[in-house]
Amino acid sequence: MDHELYTVQSPSEDIKDGPDHAEFIYKMSNEEFVRFVKLRVTNDSLFTGKRNSSTLAYRAILKELGLQREISASQARRKWENLKMKYKELKNPPPGVSVNPTNWPWFSLMDDAMEGRLAGSEVTLDTSTVGDDSEYRPNNTTRRRSKRAREPDRSEIELFVEEDDMMSEEMGRDRAELDRDRDEMEHERAILESDKAAIEYERMVLEREKMVLDRERAGVERELAALDRDRASLEREKAAVERDRASVEYIRAQLEKERAILDRERAKLERERAILEQQRGTEKGEQTANLNDNTEGTDTSIPLVMEPASLERRQKFLNLFEKLIENF
């Protein structure tokens, strides 16, 4: 509601001048309007909610503006409430309604006021210096009643209709705000339900993933147990191999010793064979000479014939033993 169209047409509740009704019409100037808004915001601490605190605070504001004889406290209160209501409608329009706040010339001023940017922009007032009630009775012009004084005049009827319309409008706006709040709550509830469903779905997914991980962990644990068993088996086999290797090493050492002994025996046999060959050549010459002298022979020829055979057997035995060692 533009303040330039705001008129006060009501018998003020601050006036008790008898049966005559009064009609007041006052239009604030732009300067007075701006100061009114700034004073209301700066002195917001005066509106404590206690009894008569609002009336005293508005009287202090009107006195500072010099309008205490032009506007009553109740009219100033309604004016401020109407300004706030219009600002809220332009600031937060109903869903689907497009508005342009700049069409209202006082939107920027009210926006600064409601956002707290005008706090401290005017003087701070004190309700203790408000004064007597008689100082805040707006000027009025009494009218004598005609013969039809009992019937309400046209201004009173328009006032009542206007006030009823204003109350209906305020109730409609309150209902609209309640509807918007309800719609917002329903929207938030729907969002919460959606978030809840998403969380439940994520929880189910996590449960399935946990089950899969548990199965995989059980499989890994079984594989680790199998690996441990295989490792233990390998350790046992390794120990057996080490024992076999030690045994083979021991047997090899024994065979090396026996081979060394055989080598010594072979060398000894070779020496004995060489001696026997030498003796055999010498004895053959002697036997040939003796046979010519004595056909019966001597007893020494027998061991010479038998000794080579024994040597041959012994040589074969050594050869077989060497092959056995080599194959092992």
Rounded-to-integer distance, Cα 256 and Cα 254, Å: 5
State both tokens at 172. Answer: 């409609």
pLDDT greater than 50 at residue 83: yes
State the pLDDT at residue 161: 44
As a whole number of angstroms, the distance between CA 225 and CA 219 comes to: 10
The lowest-confidence range among 91-95, 230-234, 256-260, 322-326 is: 322-326
DSSP string covering 210-222, please? HHHHHHHHHHHHH
Give this prediction's pTM. 0.39
Contact 319, 263 (CB under 8 A): no
Q: Residue 151 — very low, low, confident or very high, per pLDDT cuts 50/70/90?
A: very low
Predicted confidence band of residue 277 (pLDDT cuts 50, 70, 90): confident
- The confidence band for 295, taking pLDDT boundaries of 50, 70 and 90, is low
Give pLDDT tens digits for 214-270: 999 999 999 999 999 999 999 999 999 999 989 898 988 988 888 888 888 888 888
Q: Is the pLDDT of residue 316 over 50?
A: yes
145 vs 186: which has the higher pLDDT: 186
End-to-end alpha-carbon separation of the chain, Å? 121
Asked if residue 78 lies in contact with residue 7, where contact means CB atoms within 8 angstroms, the answer is no
What distance in Å separates the CA atoms of residue 311 and residue 272, rounded to the nearest whole number?
A: 9
Tell me if 324 sits within 8 A of 318, measured CB to CB: no
Residue 317: φ, ψ to 5°: -60, -40
Residue bearing the bigger pLDDT, 74 or 18: 74
Residue matched to tokens 């006060």: 8
The yes-or-no verdict on residue 55 having pLDDT over 80 is yes
Rounded Cα gap, residues 88 and 101, in angstroms: 10
Q: Where along the chain do its domains lie?
A: 25-136
Q: What pLDDT, on a 0 to 100 scale, did the predictor assign at position 307?
A: 63
Alpha helix locations (H) across the chain?
Answer: 30-42, 53-65, 73-91, 107-114, 154-293, 301-327
4 pLDDT above the threshold of 50: no
Whole-angstrom distance, CA of residue 238 vs CA of residue 314: 43
What per-residue confidence (pLDDT) applies to 221?
Answer: 93
